[in-house]
Structure 1
């Protein structure tokens, strides 16, 4: 319980201190993402599962590195860990697994460069290395740090 409270406080504090330079929503996976500035070379992402609060509140901490500087589409690589602080009520272990991300955030509308389409491939493995998934995500993002030309 104490670990869960510490983690939850850390996650909320991180999202507030980052000043939410970008938010994204992946509707098919019900994931809300709060990011530092994704226009920077290295940026961070905190993702919350939004569809099952009472059974699972999975949270992902996902740092990323941009591999190109194209304003129309930024490709990135990253990885991270998946945590579920509600699991501490059952067995005390909040750590769920590891993942690797390969993605792109594209700004298809010249008039509105803040609006982005986000696509990601994300292999995931459980913490015990007994199972895994090949996840794909498609969503929409709004980048507060981008300015119109």
Structure 2
């Protein structure tokens, strides 16, 4: 078969009923529904989707399935946040680096929690109180948990 013949080749149109019949044959008479799976969020996953399953997505934010967010103006009123994680060795160094980061445009308090920081809880509280009203907080606390 040449390239021109391959390009002009067509396949017969099948209907969903043809697929269902063939699928039931393959699974030896079980119902098609036995091929469905559910996720832990109770979303049913079908074995075959067709154009009938397609749902229109709202062209506007805050519409129907909320894919474009919950705000009617979209993200024009919610600015992006800059939350680069700040590396540090001491709480004093963290304070200096936070001030530098904010001066350069960082908009979130972001650092990894450490056991050393927890031991100096009073200094950490003082540091956070200085910024917490102005900046959101994003802390990775996985480094402070106990190893089992």
Rg comparison, structure with higher value: 2
Relative to total residues, which structure has the larger strand share, 1 or 2? 1
Q: Which has the higher contact order (CA 8 A, sep 6+)?
A: 1
Question: What interval of TM-score do these two structures reach, taking the shorter chain for normalisation?
Answer: under 0.3
- Of Structure 1 and Structure 2, which has the larger fraction of its residues in helix? 2
